């Protein structure tokens, strides 16, 4: 059973974005980029490292470098229940 994005964020997951630089298998002097995004847990980033291992095992383009950032979308102090709304004319 997969969790929704909101449920993942409430469990402490944040959005991890990785920019992967890799070399073309036939043209080693050419660098390409691939952007990967997934909800992951910091500081260990198990899903990111699982993807990097998959890349190294299954994809022919050798990795040059990986740059990533992580952002928690919901923090405990940011979540609140709004009871009413006031409209001014």
Split at pLDDT 50, 70, 90, the class of 83 is confident
Average pLDDT, stretch 70-87? Answer: 69
CA-nearest of 19, 43, 45, 47 to 33 is: 19
pLDDT for the residue 85? 67
For residue range 20-77, list pLDDT tens digits in order: 999 988 888 999 999 999 999 988 999 999 999 999 999 989 999 999 999 887 655 6
Q: 9 — phi, psi (to 5°)?
A: -65, -40
Report the distance separating Cα 74 and Cα 31, nearest Å.
Answer: 35
Q: Give me 65's structure tokens.
A: 């470098």
Instruction: Round to the nearest angstrom and report the end-to-end CA distance of the chain.
Output: 47
Split at pLDDT 50, 70, 90, the class of 9 is confident
């Amino acid at each position: 059973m997969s969790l929704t994005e909101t449920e993942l964020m409430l469990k402490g997951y944040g959005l991890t974005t990785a920019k992967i630089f890799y070399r073309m298998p036939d043209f080693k002097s050419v660098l390409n980029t691939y952007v990967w995004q997934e909800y992951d847990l910091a500081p260990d980033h198990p899903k990111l490292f699982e993807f990097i291992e998959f890349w190294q095992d299954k994809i022919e383009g050798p990795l040059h470098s990986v740059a990533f950032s992580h952002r928690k979308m919901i923090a405990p102090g940011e979540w609140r229940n709004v009871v009413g709304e006031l409209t001014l004319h």
